[in-house]
Amino acid sequence: MSQLELGMTANVSARHISFLETGRAKPSQPMVLQLSETLTIPRGVRNRLLQAAGFSGVYETRDLNDQELEYVKAAMDWTLERHDPFPGIAFDRHWHILRMNACASGLLGALGIAEGDSLLETFANDGPIRDAIANWPEVASHMIARLRTESTHLGGDPVLDAGIARLLAALGTERAEHYSEMPAVITADYRSGEMMLSFFSTISQFGSTEDIALADVKIELMFPANAQTRDALFTHFT
């Protein structure tokens, strides 16, 4: 983004942006926050920018069990529970599982995965979840692209970058085949006993949050990609 584009978007003159870049002008606290908002900079990084400008950070990191976040946790649980009998998972920036609904607990629990575990670790390791995914190369390739996007948004994240490296090493020369025609969605196909379950997913985050940890929470809701999967889930998880 050029100085002119940033200035027009943030309603600041390009000349002032130039002065801030070269150190000829010192930003006020509102200016740091205004430019951070325009550039969609993560809240933890905004704190570091504020500190570099001589101000205290304004964004906190609360535990999800904090009483102040009780209503947020209730909303998360409400969303996940009502998504049953389809799988739903809430996880943090580094893909640690915070909450699972009954269906997700049943499917992942069979693979030895529980709340508190890292999905990033389980995907990167040579273990049960990799064996359970029939289309591992497609899922791993998609996950690498997703992690790169998340790391880039954060200005680089060592944990996510390490996960990318491990997935690339695990994938090795095995790559997702190129489609002659791209499908509408890339599914994850899981072997569960004698069943083959195929899912696509949506990801949501909390809006209007100013808490660092809460801003990084993602809720992934998986949906059946075919009638066979839908019928199997209704049979086994209702």
**Which SS3 state, helix, strand or coil, does residue 5 take?**
helix
Q: H helices of the chain, where?
A: 3-10, 14-22, 29-38, 43-52, 70-83, 102-109, 119-124, 128-132, 136-153, 158-171, 212-216, 227-236
Q: Can you tell me which residue has the tokens 């994938």?
A: 171
Task: Mean pLDDT check: name the lowest of 9-23, 30-44, 169-183.
Answer: 169-183
For the chain, domain boundaries: 3-52, 67-236
**Which SS3 state, helix, strand or coil, does residue 235 take?**
helix
The pLDDT value given to residue 130: 86
**How confident is the model over 147-169, as pLDDT tens digits?**
999 998 888 899 999 999 999 98
For residue 201, give the nearest of 103, 131, 126, 127 by alpha carbon: 103
Query: How much is the pTM?
Result: 0.81
Return all residues near 91 (Cβ < 8 A) that are at least 6 apart.
97, 98, 119, 217, 218, 220
**Banded model confidence at residue 202, pLDDT cuts 50, 70, 90:** very high
The pLDDT value given to residue 178: 52
CATH number of 67-236: 3.30.450.180
- The DSSP line for 27-39 is PPHHHHHHHHHHT
Kind and range of the H or E element at 223?
strand 218-224
